[in-house]
Amino acid sequence: MRRGACPSLEAPLHTGDGLLARLPPATLPPAAWVALARAAQRAGNGLLDITARGSVQLRGLSAETLDLAESLVPPEWPRGALVMTSPLAGAALDETADPHPLAARLAAAAPAGLPPKATVLVDGGGALNLAGEAADLRLVAQPDGWLLGCGMDWLGVGNADAACAAALHLLADMARHATRAPSAEACAAAAQRLRPAPPPAPVPSPEAIGLHALREGVALGVGLPFGRLEAATLIAFAEASNARALRGAPGRVLLALRVPDPAGLRRQAAALGLITDPDDPRRRVAACTGAPACGSALLDTRALAAALAPDVPPGGFLHVSGCAKGCAHPRPARLTLVGTPQGLGLIRRGRAGDTVAHHLHPQDARAALAREFAADA
Ligand code: SF4
């Protein structure tokens, strides 16, 4: 994979369970998601992730199956990820403005030669906004236009024409200098195309699990246990949804838009093992692919994570890792249980690759958790 680039079908990433390819967030009919799930079954190990941004990852691909995956992924699935919109763009009842037209203009006019990970967010606002997502440039809908942000700075507000021109000026500078941070001169020139404006008011963190009012109908968001989705579960959910479209959303959530029977779909989602309650304790646990899907795993991570999740108290966090690589949570966690050649290792306030405090028998893991979290109380 090219350094600094996002993994894709053309340039996948080597992981413990094979090659990984990421597809940008997409709002597409359930049939397209079923086709994607079948691609995961035939070309990968049948596991998909929805990332913290709502992108979808195919896992367990190999050099021999990449062409097959490329042929099976629905052609309408977008491949480029420069411009991203809020998850209910154009549909949310509470959004300030539909970001699609501005996003389409930016994507069509963006210069060639931008750094591979350059990102522009066009955020229509509303409860499911993108305020918590990092980006090089962001355009946030305001009652009087589009507020343009660059890194940590807000440059000003303008109508769609002015904001688009200002953003394209910054993108041209980024392409010219092969950087994700426009120069101070480019920022000053972009600001001159806009009116001065204060930063946007802080908004609560979006919670995508649950019901969301749309201009027509409702959307239902369901969470993925440990951020992971089995292809068979995705197929069952997509086929049961009768939704107009599905979409990955920040928080590792799958949204079904314009569902005719949200209560019934919520029951079916729960029966499929998906998360329908934002306070579900499985959201307090990160677990990697683990055994048997990952050849490096020394632990059936998801079985252990599912067994231990009810014992993680609100505010607590547990990382269960099949080996020291720590794919599911590369950052320190309050508590990590890691598979090692010597058995199950316990790590306090560290990463999966850090020094193990002690080893324990899996049967003793619940008692160990209770002791550790009791110490925090
Ligand atoms: S952390 Fe998990 S998924 Fe990553 S290589 Fe180790 S066992 Fe495999």
DSSP labels, 175-204: HHHT-SS--HHHHHHHHHTSB--PPPPP-P
308 φ/ψ angles, rounded to the nearest 5 degrees: -95, -20
Nearest to 72 by CA among 95, 107, 96, 43: 43
Superfamily of domain 282-376: Sulfite Reductase Hemoprotein, domain 1 (3.30.413.10)
The response to whether residue 60 sits with its C-beta less than 6 Å from ligand 1 reads: no
Among 13, 298, 321, residue to substitute to test ligand 1 (most atoms within 8 Å of Cβ): 321
Tell me the CA–centroid distance for residue 60 and ligand 1, in Å: 12
For atom 5 of ligand 1, which residue has the closest CA?
A: 16
The response to whether residue 16 sits with its C-beta less than 6 Å from ligand 1 reads: yes
What is the CATH number that goes with domain 13-80+208-278? 3.90.480.10
Tell me the CA–centroid distance for residue 351 and ligand 1, in Å: 13
Other residues' Cβ atoms within 10 Å of the Cβ of residue 330: 13
* Token representation of residue 15: 């992981």
The response to whether residue 227 sits with its C-beta less than 6 Å from ligand 1 reads: no
Q: At what angle do helices 30-43 and 231-241 cross, to 10 degrees?
A: 160
Q: Along the 377 residues of the chain, how does pLDDT read in single tens digits?
A: 444 567 889 889 888 788 999 999 999 999 999 999 999 999 999 999 998 788 999 999 999 999 999 999 999 998 877 999 999 999 999 999 999 999 999 999 999 999 988 999 999 999 999 888 889 999 999 999 999 999 889 999 999 999 999 999 999 999 999 999 999 999 999 999 999 999 988 888 889 999 999 999 999 999 999 888 999 999 999 999 999 999 999 888 999 999 999 999 999 999 999 999 999 999 999 998 888 878 889 999 999 999 999 999 999 999 999 999 998 888 999 999 999 999 999 999 999 999 999 999 989 999 999 999 998 87
* Token representation of residue 236: 């069952």
Distance separating alpha carbons of residues 31 and 34, to the nearest angstrom: 5
Among 327, 331, 354, residue to substitute to test ligand 1 (most atoms within 8 Å of Cβ): 327
Tell me the CA–centroid distance for residue 326 and ligand 1, in Å: 6
| pLDDT of res. 3 | 45
The response to whether residue 336 sits with its C-beta less than 6 Å from ligand 1 reads: no
Tell me the CA–centroid distance for residue 287 and ligand 1, in Å: 9
232 conformational bin, left if phi > 0, alpha if psi -120 to 50, beta if neither: alpha
Q: Which residues of 199-215 are buried (b: 16+ CB within 10 A; e: fewer)?
A: ebeeeeebebbbebebe
Nearest to 345 by CA among 329, 321, 375, 311: 321
| pLDDT of res. 5 | 67
Distance separating alpha carbons of residues 329 and 252, to the nearest angstrom: 14
The response to whether residue 323 sits with its C-beta less than 6 Å from ligand 1 reads: yes
The response to whether residue 290 sits with its C-beta less than 6 Å from ligand 1 reads: yes
Distance separating alpha carbons of residues 28 and 37, to the nearest angstrom: 13
| pLDDT of res. 131 | 87
Tell me the CA–centroid distance for residue 314 and ligand 1, in Å: 26
- Cβ atoms 335, 317 nearer than 8 A: yes
Distance separating alpha carbons of residues 356 and 298, to the nearest angstrom: 15
Tell me the CA–centroid distance for residue 339 and ligand 1, in Å: 9
The response to whether residue 300 sits with its C-beta less than 6 Å from ligand 1 reads: no
For residue 344, the one-letter residue type is L
For residue 307, the one-letter residue type is A
Distance separating alpha carbons of residues 249 and 272, to the nearest angstrom: 19
* Token representation of residue 326: 């720590």
Among 14, 19, 296, 298, residue to substitute to test ligand 1 (most atoms within 8 Å of Cβ): 296
The three-class DSSP label of residue 116 is: coil
Beta strand 120-123 with 56-61 is: unpaired
| pLDDT of res. 2 | 45
Tell me the CA–centroid distance for residue 16 and ligand 1, in Å: 5
| pLDDT of res. 84 | 92
The three-class DSSP label of residue 366 is: helix
Atom index in ligand 1 nearest the CA of residue 294 equals 8
Taking the alpha carbons of 87, 92, 97, 98 in that order, is the dihedral positive or negative? positive
**19: β partners:** 14, 61
- Cβ atoms 366, 360 nearer than 8 A: no
**219: β partners:** 212, 257
CA angle 166, 129, 314 (to 5 degrees): 145
Atom index in ligand 1 nearest the CA of residue 323 equals 6
Domain locations along the chain: 13-80+208-278, 88-192, 282-376
| pLDDT of res. 219 | 98
Nearest to 139 by CA among 117, 127, 155: 155
Taking the alpha carbons of 267, 271, 47, 232 in that order, is the dihedral positive or negative? negative
